[in-house]
Chains A and B, each alone.
Chain A
Amino acid sequence: MRHSTPVLALAAMLAAAAVLIAGPLTPPPGPPASTPKTLNEVEPRIPISSLPAVINAPGSYYLTANLFNAISTSDSITIGTPNVTLDLNGFVLSGGAFAIAVNAGGAGGSVTITNGTIRGASSAINANIFGGDGSIPIIVRDVRFQNILGTAIITQSNALIERCTFRSVGTAVLAGTNATIRDCITIDNRSAGFDVNVGSTIERSVASFINSSGAGATGFVLRPGSSASRVIAHNVSTPPSGLNLAVFLDSSSSLRDSNIFNSHFGVTASSGARVDGVSFHALSGIPYSTNVSSTGATIENSLFTAANNAIGFAGNSTANTVRNNIIRGTTINPNPNTNVGIGINVTPGATATITGNLIGNINRAIALQSSFNTVHSNTFNLVGSNVSGFAAGSAPAGANLIGPINAAAAATTSQSPLVNLLF
């Protein structure tokens, strides 16, 4: 068998060749076609290269350059159809000084706008047709707004606005119902920061240095049933003055785990509103850091420091709750018996249940000017007077349930469980 090795090698080569040529000989169906991508496959979106532009078909659009609208009274981009995504592509959309940069009021459905800068228009993004609250759910993400004459973003219901920055605009956002705003910053505004309608949420956002020159600014406006958490409002007006307000809570809205400082007024709360875990600092406003103007509000677990006055209940503001807060004023005797230096002020006609609070370094801890209030289990430290009428040391008005106020005697085991401590 001298030839066995070459024979085997030849057999192996034939077998290998058979494997190598074993592919199908039939060509793929259809006409021959190029395998590289076409340019339209590389960028299938629709370019926008000049202004004004009108979008009348659903789809994905993008800017191809910084675009300036030289027609001051013409909207820059008008969206008249739903299901549109507009990518600013990192570019700047500007001009149209007396018009809207992106008018989505006629979209009638979903619109998404992302990734770029809008500046120099009367309004930046407007999806609010006829001032109504319809159904154009708009998403605005990663957009910077600057030098907008009026409101930067106006939306209908179900808007999502995130990671946007607003500078030198009138109002940052005026949103319809059920909006979500998060991770947004607004500074140097002329009017309001974020104003959201019924059932909206705001989280992790900042409103600061609003209306530096004067009057009427508001950091956050929460319409009924809305919620804000982990937000900061500061320097709402510089210097703090005028009617500027950090947060307005409409009925049944809430503010949680947030900071408010170096401003004029802190929070104005309406019926059923709730303030929980908020830190107030250095608010110069008179009358109060938190002013409750209606019924059934709750203020709890919050911290008030360096304030002229902390919490005030206006007349006819009834059935309110103030519990587990810490209130520290500026000094025990700043200007006694004026409207400066009151921890909790219940004005005639108002009622509140006030429990578990620590109030210190202030002229009057609690001023009860009305009947039917409950005051117990509070602690008073370094106060001019603890529970009084409007004047320090005067008797509270009317018939109130006030737990005994004791100092050393409270250390015994025989005190009322409703005792207020004084030290």
Chain B
Amino acid sequence: MNTRALILGSCLVLATVSTTLLVAGPLTPPPGAPASTYKTLAQIEPRTPISAAAFTIEAPGSYYLTSNITQPALGSGSFALSINAPDVTLDLNGFTVQGGETAILLEPGASNVTIRNGTVRGTSGSGIFAAGFPEPGNTVRNVTLESITDAAILLGPAASVSDVRMINVGDGVLVGHSSIVTAVSIQAAQRAGFTLGEGSIAQHCTVISGLGPPTFSGHAFRLATGAMAVNCVARSNAGPGFILDSAAVARDCDASDNAGGGFVLASNTRIDRCTASANGIAGVVVPPNTTGWTIDRSTITNHTNGITLATNATQGAIRNNTIRGLGTTSGSGILANVATVGDLTITANTIAQVQRGIILDGGFSSIVGNAFTTVGTAITNSFGSPASSTNLVANVLNSTTATTATNALVNTQN
């Protein structure tokens, strides 16, 4: 056998084996009608595209933009997109919705709607706006809103707004009860920042004017009954930083350089572990007829008057705070210069660098365990005389004497 014959023989064997292997699959076809094994284009992108304004979403489902869309009309009733169905997800797909009186209008019936991932700008009215009696359960996430004349986002109850940035808007965020707003920043709002419904939560949110002089005179944050702001910041606004309605709570929040005051309380409200610095009017304002309020564990600095109390501000607790003023030639730590203020508990505070530590014209309050440092006077009435004898005022001792005192309730001054 020569070499050539050997090679040919080997090839024949290999070819036979290969052929056997190649034809070894089942000959029986799979059950059912023949069908393509490939995806269709509709399966690749099953969502409904939106490519132009004005467009109305009238059925539940998933929608996405294919480009920037613009509604050139800005007149009353105009919109770029509207939604009148529930259970809609609208992915802006990184594009911009521009124009209209309202950019994205949620009409009655539009509940469980999610809008995400893009930019909304340039409207004569609102940005994302739930009309009429707003439906519950709507979400806005990862959206930038710019140059909105009125409300940037207005939603109903149980709304969720997160990871949103706003610049130059009328009102920032308005949501109904039981809503959660997280990581939303508002810069240069013209009227107000956040308006939270009853029992809502705002966390890691900011309202900053940012464009030179303060631009709006509304509130940075307004918390309706039982609402809560946590780790929020209001800075350099023309209005007040935080307005709390009944039973609302601000915790770990910062208010600085707000011309309308840092925190404005209502009955049964509480600020806890907050910081107020260099605000107008006062760090904390207790309006008339406010009862049952608490200012706790907070730092209030660089105000002419740290805390001001108005007529009939009663049954308040000011505990464990640090209040530092602008120097001993002016101002007070706590200014309660109306006779109807009473039933206060002022305890364990440090008050420093003010002309007068506490001015108290009313009676029936308790002032114990406070420390006054670098103050002109510690506790007096408006006329510089001792506060009313109906108050329970612990002795004010200098620090040397206090070290020998047996009563931890004494007030100290040095």
Which residue numbers of A lie inside 8 Å of B, CB to CB? 39-40, 42-43, 47, 49, 63-66, 89-92, 115-117, 119, 142, 144, 146, 163, 165, 167, 183, 185, 187, 204-206, 208-209, 230, 232, 234-235, 257-259, 261-262, 277, 279, 281-282, 301, 303, 305-306, 326, 328, 358, 360-361, 379, 381-382, 407-408, 410-417, 419, 421, 423
Shortest Cβ gap from B227 to chain A (Å):
8
Check if A187 sits within 8 Å of B157, measured CB to CB: yes
Assuming A90-B61, A360-B343, is B392 touching A410 (CB within 8 A)? Answer: yes
Shortest Cβ gap from B378 to chain A (Å):
13
Shortest Cβ gap from B403 to chain A (Å):
11
Check if B91 sits within 8 Å of A90, measured CB to CB: yes
Let me know if B393 is at the binding interface, CB within 8 A.
yes
For A184, give the chain B residue with the smallest CB separation.
B180
Check if B409 sits within 8 Å of A410, measured CB to CB: yes
Assuming A381-B345, A419-B409, is B182 touching A234 (CB within 8 A)? Answer: no
Give Cα distance in the complex from A411 to B294, angstroms. 23
Shortest Cβ gap from A143 to chain B (Å):
10
Beyond A165-B158, A382-B343, 13 additional contacts (C-beta under 8 Å) are A66-B60, A66-B61, A90-B91, A117-B87, A146-B87, A146-B112, A163-B162, A230-B228, A234-B198, A257-B251, A303-B294, A306-B292, A421-B366
Shortest Cβ gap from B118 to chain A (Å):
14
Let me know if B38 is at the binding interface, CB within 8 A.
yes
Contacts of B393 in A (CB 8 A): 411
21 sample A-B contacts, Cβ–Cβ < 8 Å, listed by A number: A39-B38, A40-B38, A64-B46, A89-B46, A91-B46, A165-B139, A167-B136, A185-B179, A187-B178, A204-B230, A206-B201, A230-B201, A232-B200, A234-B177, A259-B228, A259-B249, A281-B268, A305-B267, A360-B315, A413-B397, A417-B408
Check if A209 sits within 8 Å of B178, measured CB to CB: yes
Contacts of B315 in A (CB 8 A): 328, 360-361, 381-382
Let me know if B364 is at the binding interface, CB within 8 A.
yes
Contacts of A43 in B (CB 8 A): 39, 43-45
For A407, give the chain B residue with the smallest CB separation.
B392
Check if A232 sits within 8 Å of B366, measured CB to CB: no
Check if B46 sits within 8 Å of A65, measured CB to CB: yes
Shortest Cβ gap from B182 to chain A (Å):
6
Check if B345 sits within 8 Å of A379, measured CB to CB: yes
Let me know if B225 is at the binding interface, CB within 8 A.
yes
Give Cα distance in the complex from A382 to B162, angstroms. 44
Contacts of A91 in B (CB 8 A): 46, 61-62, 89
Assuming A66-B61, A204-B180, A204-B182, is B114 touching A413 (CB within 8 A)? Answer: no
Give Cα distance in the complex from A257 to B251, angstroms. 8
Check if B394 sits within 8 Å of A165, measured CB to CB: no
Give Cα distance in the complex from A312 to B347, angstroms. 26
Shortest Cβ gap from B312 to chain A (Å):
14
Check if A281 sits within 8 Å of B226, measured CB to CB: yes
Tell me which of B39, B136, B178, B391 contacts A39 (CB under 8 A): B39
Check if B203 sits within 8 Å of A204, measured CB to CB: yes
Tell me which of A119, A259, A381 contacts B199 (CB under 8 A): A259
Contacts of A303 in B (CB 8 A): 268, 270, 294
- Select the residue from A43, A301, A381, A414 with max chain B CB neighbours within 10 A: A381
Shortest Cβ gap from A62 to chain B (Å):
8
Shortest Cβ gap from A210 to chain B (Å):
11
Give Cα distance in the complex from A65 to B60, angstroms. 10
Contacts of B259 in A (CB 8 A): none
Contacts of A92 in B (CB 8 A): 60-61, 87
Check if A411 sits within 8 Å of B60, measured CB to CB: no
Let me know if B21 is at the binding interface, CB within 8 A.
no
Give Cα distance in the complex from A163 to B138, angstroms. 12
Give Cα distance in the complex from A369 to B172, angstroms. 53
Give Cα distance in the complex from A411 to B386, angstroms. 14
Shortest Cβ gap from A281 to chain B (Å):
4
Contacts of A306 in B (CB 8 A): 247, 268, 292
Assuming A116-B89, A328-B292, is B43 touching A421 (CB within 8 A)? Answer: no
Shortest Cβ gap from A331 to chain B (Å):
12
Give Cα distance in the complex from A394 to B114, angstroms. 60
Shortest Cβ gap from B6 to chain A (Å):
31
Check if B158 sits within 8 Å of A187, measured CB to CB: yes
Q: Which of B48-103 contact A (CB under 8 A)?
A: 60-63, 87, 89, 91
Give Cα distance in the complex from A259 to B345, angstroms. 23
Contacts of B225 in A (CB 8 A): 261-262
Shortest Cβ gap from A338 to chain B (Å):
22
Check if A39 sits within 8 Å of B226, measured CB to CB: no
Let me know if B137 is at the binding interface, CB within 8 A.
yes
B 323-367 to A, binary, CB cutoff 8 A, 1 in contact else 0: 000000000000000000001010100000000000000001110
Contacts of A39 in B (CB 8 A): 38-39, 41, 44
Give Cα distance in the complex from A42 to B141, angstroms. 25
Shortest Cβ gap from A266 to chain B (Å):
13
Contacts of B45 in A (CB 8 A): 43
Assuming A259-B199, A262-B226, is B177 touching A208 (CB within 8 A)? Answer: yes
Shortest Cβ gap from A244 to chain B (Å):
15
Contacts of B87 in A (CB 8 A): 66, 92, 117, 119, 144, 146
Tell me which of B43, B272, B365 contacts A277 (CB under 8 A): B272
Contacts of B141 in A (CB 8 A): 142, 163
Contacts of B366 in A (CB 8 A): 379, 381, 421, 423
Contacts of B47 in A (CB 8 A): 89-90
Let me know if B395 is at the binding interface, CB within 8 A.
yes
Give Cα distance in the complex from A185 to B155, angstroms. 15
Shortest Cβ gap from A311 to chain B (Å):
17
For A406, give the chain B residue with the smallest CB separation.
B392
Tell me which of A42, A183, A206, A421 contacts B409 (CB under 8 A): A421
Give Cα distance in the complex from A208 to B228, angstroms. 14
Let me know if B289 is at the binding interface, CB within 8 A.
no
Check if A279 sits within 8 Å of B249, measured CB to CB: yes
Q: Which of B292-312 contact A (CB under 8 A)?
A: 292, 294, 296
Let me know if B164 is at the binding interface, CB within 8 A.
no
Assuming A259-B247, A305-B268, is B392 touching A89 (CB within 8 A)? Answer: no
Contacts of B180 in A (CB 8 A): 183, 185, 204-206
Contacts of B397 in A (CB 8 A): 413
Contacts of A305 in B (CB 8 A): 247, 267-268, 292
Contacts of A142 in B (CB 8 A): 114, 139, 141
Shortest Cβ gap from A391 to chain B (Å):
25
Contacts of B317 in A (CB 8 A): 326, 358
Let me know if B400 is at the binding interface, CB within 8 A.
no
Assuming A234-B199, A261-B225, is B268 touching A410 (CB within 8 A)? Answer: no
Assuming A43-B39, A185-B178, is B407 touching A414 (CB within 8 A)? Answer: yes
Give Cα distance in the complex from A407 to B137, angstroms. 53
Check if B158 sits within 8 Å of A167, measured CB to CB: yes
